Copies of this chain bind each other. A is one copy, B any other.
């Protein structure tokens, strides 16, 4: 399997694969007679796992650290487990944050929908979708693009 095939199978570009090898995320590939990288399919598991780490917010440095530990074999098991546990906690926090956001979005989408329908939405307004509220010029009129701002300051950056 050469780099092009691996790229196709892994979903990463050949550039990215070489880059990952360069920085040490991927082990240095064996070469064929012509100096071209040759891969065996087991690398796909590792790439897939790396990808998952990345997709769940682990930065390159930590992935690198993990990759490095992995090359050290069984002696690094504990450290790797600890890294995964730390990551697990982060992912779990992310899930909470995102889930919370889902309901904020639902409230807001619903609010907007009601406003679009012309429903009077005023009292609960702020408490209901306790985030920012759509628009500030409730008093319509004088609301062209760049109106509401620039108290002092006449230049700034035309």
How far is the CB of A118 from the nearest CB of chain B, in Å?
Answer: 10
Copy count, this protein chain: 2
- State which of B74, B88, B140, B151 has its C-beta within 8 Å of the C-beta of A105: B88
**Most central of A42, A55, A98 by chain B CB within 10 Å:** A98
Q: Is the interface of A mostly helix, strand, loop or mixed?
A: helix
6 residue pairs A–B, Cβ–Cβ below 8 Å: A28-B149, A30-B150, A38-B151, A80-B112, A81-B109, A84-B108
Q: A residues engaging B (CB < 8 A)?
A: 27-33, 35, 38, 42, 45-46, 48-50, 52, 55-56, 70-74, 76-78, 80-81, 84-85, 87-88, 91-92, 94-95, 97-99, 101-102, 104-106, 108-109, 112-113, 115-116, 126, 130-137, 140, 143, 145, 148-153, 156
